[in-house]
Amino acid sequence: MPYIDCFYVCEDIAHRGPLNIKKFDTLDTAIEVYKALPSGTVKALGVQNTAPLTGSLDFVQCHNGRDVFIQDYKHCTGWDNPEISRMIHELRNHLILQEERNIRFITPEYDDLFTLPDGAKLLLQYPDGSKKTVPCKAYPDGHHFTLGNGGVLHICQFAELCRKNGITYAPAHPLPADVVNTYEIYQIPRNSPCDYVFLNYEHTKNRVNAADYQLVYRGMLGSRLTLDNIFDLHNRPDRPLPAGMRSVSVSDIIILHQNGKDSAHYVDSIGFIELPDSFCAALQLKTQSKTRPYVFQR
């Protein structure tokens, strides 16, 4: 029994919502349809197999106008077989394929966040709320890349610079599977007339108001960065963004954007108090355009 059941072409795998996927009996037809699609989208060509639990894998994806050979099949049981090898040989006869080269984006603790294909664009968000999209170029060693027209950066060096300056980063054109977790810190401004700064929640629970707070920091949230870790990180002598915010203390609020959910946490004298969802939404809405200026530090 053949391993390959059919071939498919997806018009744009980065599309939000239902994907436009067409299936074909022959590889030649699939290649013709793939070539006819515009190169400005993340189009893909792949295979559906005949296994008892039917599976499918992309073998070609278009990234920034280049047809990239995807080698996920090497890591999937049963896919690295003679029939697939012959199909790949035919693909190479019809398409000029670039070898896949990705850039890992991590936290300073080396927690993986996401990967970008060589030449893809990264979205940077700065503490003042401004955003910038820049292309990234991968280096063969898998640990260095260039950002825009800048110099070469190690992936950990980049993560440390972003943490130090309160910059978050994400794919400019995320795929449906891309989930990037971040956190935000809100503080009561120094010149505020608010009378509950530095007070624990028991004394302030009826007075805490989103209007009293200001967004002072954004950061990447890795798998090992808990609320306690965030508190410790922002109380170290070398804490991030020291010129733009106080060290984290009682009455500050930390918002976690984690796995598609948002939660707000009041920093108490012991531990953290989770605030209602309505407060979380009001806090973000109020502070969207009222962030503080910053000075980038290397």
Domain residue ranges in the chain: 4-99, 102-171, 182-287
What CA–CA distance (Å, rounded) separates 84 from 216? 52
Q: How confident is the model at residue 140 (pLDDT cuts 50, 70, 90)?
A: confident
Q: In 10 A of CB 267, how many CB atoms?
A: 24
197: closest CA among 219, 181, 213? 213
CA distance 120 to 267: 38
The mean pLDDT value of the chain amounts to: 90
**Alpha helices, DSSP H only, in the chain?**
27-36, 82-94, 155-165, 201-204, 227-233, 277-287
How far, in whole angstroms, is CA 291 from its chain's centroid?
22
Tokens of 206: 């009826």
Determine the pLDDT at residue 231: 98
274 to each of 68, 267, 296, how far by Cα in Å? 45, 9, 32
37-46, 90-99, 209-218: which has the minimum mean pLDDT?
Answer: 90-99
Sort 298 into a burial class: Cβ within 10 Å, 0-12 / 13-18 / 19+. Answer: exposed
Q: In this structure, what is the dihedral angle of CA atoms 281, 284, 288, 290, given to the nearest 10 degrees?
A: 130
Residues in the chain: 298
Tens-place pLDDT, residues 162-183: 999 999 999 998 877 788 999 9
What does the block give as tokens for 243?
């010129």
pLDDT at 292: 46
Query: What's the mean pLDDT in 156-167?
Result: 96
What pLDDT sits at residue 296?
Answer: 47
**pLDDT, tens only, 193-238:** 988 999 999 999 889 999 999 999 999 999 989 999 999 999 999 9
pLDDT (0 to 100) of residue 298: 53
Instruction: Give whole-number Cα distances, 10 to 20, 23, 42, 43, in Å.
Output: 6, 9, 9, 6
CA neighbor of 68 nearest in space, from 31, 42, 106 = 42
Buried b vs exposed e over 208-227: b needs ≥16 C-beta within 10 Å? bebebbbbbbbbbbbeebeb
Q: Is the dihedral of CA 163, 166, 170, 176 positive or negative?
A: positive
Q: Which pLDDT does position 220 carry in this prediction?
A: 97
CB 128 within 8 A of CB 294: yes
**What helix, strand, coil percent values describe the chain, rounded to 5?**
20, 30, 45
